[in-house]
Amino acid sequence: MDKTIRKFNSFAEVKDEEYRYWQSVPPAERIEAAYQLSVEQYRMKGIEPDGSALKRSLVRVECPRS
């Protein structure tokens, strides 16, 4: 974990840095982070998640040819 302290002069600079950080993180890690935030939100409401982790699924939809 990066523990570098940064000083920003405006909220816009903070948001820009946050955007750059999340763009540098691979998509799978971004999805996992969003899932973990959802789990924590449910716990804050007193709802315990069922314990199943984020599952991947693949769906193939074929469109009729014209």
The pLDDT score that the predictor gives to residue 52 is 61
The pLDDT score that the predictor gives to residue 15 is 96
- The pTM of the full predicted model, rounded to 2 decimals, is 0.58
pLDDT-above-90 percentage for the chain: 38
Q: Could you tell me if 27 and 35 are in contact, meaning their C-beta atoms sit under 8 angstroms apart? A: no
Q: Residue ranges per domain, the chain?
A: 8-66
Q: Give the count of beta carbons closer than 10 Å to the beta carbon of residue 35.
A: 13
pLDDT band at 61 (very low <50, low <70, confident <90, very high): confident
Q: Could you tell me if 29 and 54 are in contact, meaning their C-beta atoms sit under 8 angstroms apart? A: no
